[in-house]
Amino acid sequence: MGHNASRMDLGRGRAGSPRQAGFTLLELMVTVAVLAIVLAIAVPSFQGITNRNRLTAITNEVVAAAQLTRMEAIRRNQRVVMCPTTDGSACNGGDWTRVVIREAAAGGEVIREFRFLGRGISVVGSPAITNGNRLSFNSSGFARAGNNAADTSGTIRICTSELDAGENARDLQIAVSRISVTPTGSAGCQAPGNG
């Protein structure tokens, strides 16, 4: 029995107490330090990805609004406008982060309202668009600036203050009947040229 008792004591620490398992304080401190270093590298990178994705999502919403304006003009066989609004129905705003799509005729039907919201997001138009304070398409799907009858080209810039100036903007370029997006940079989200 003495021999078996000595085998049973091998699994015990001091004076018959159970053996302790776990991390030492030093191991825990090293693990926490490594985790802190990894997080210090990963978090800013993740924030950049999140902000770029937010900018892309809002740019896609602006493209959808412009495309809807064009499609409704063709479908309704009349001029349809996209313009900034303060009340959700009239073309009376100056801030392009809230726009309404509506028939151009006085008292025309409101088709849809868009709000391009996000932390640090700005939406500005080129002079061809902001001079008339609206982007419109005629029944053939050709872009018009303001109330002009002539074909036009213009740019709507979507920016975020959450990214560096070299990658903080997307230009939505409208060239008569074509709508395209170009990544760009803009310090302070300056209004683009007519492009």
* Number of domains within the chain: 1
Q: In the 8-state DSSP scheme, what is residue 90?
A: S
Position 147 scores a pLDDT of 63
pTM (predicted TM-score): 0.76
Q: Range with the lowest mean pLDDT among 95-109, 138-152, 155-169?
A: 138-152
Residue 109 lies in a domain: yes
Position 64 scores a pLDDT of 96
pLDDT in tens, 104-123: 888 899 999 999 988 889 99
Mean pLDDT for 171-191 is 85
Position 166 scores a pLDDT of 83
State the Cα–Cα distance between residues 130 and 65, nearest whole angstrom. 17
Mean pLDDT for 74-93 is 92
**Is 195 a residue whose pLDDT tops 70?**
no
Position 15 scores a pLDDT of 61
Higher pLDDT, 136 or 177: 136
Residue 142 has a CB neighbour count (10 Å cut-off) of 16
Residue 191 lies in a domain: no
CATH of the domain at 28: 3.55.40.10
Residue 175 lies in a domain: yes
Confirm if 163 and 47 have CB atoms less than 8 A apart.
no
Domain that holds residue 91: 24-184
**Is 27 a residue whose pLDDT tops 80?**
yes
Look over the chain and give the mean of its residue pLDDT values, rounded to a whole number.
Answer: 84
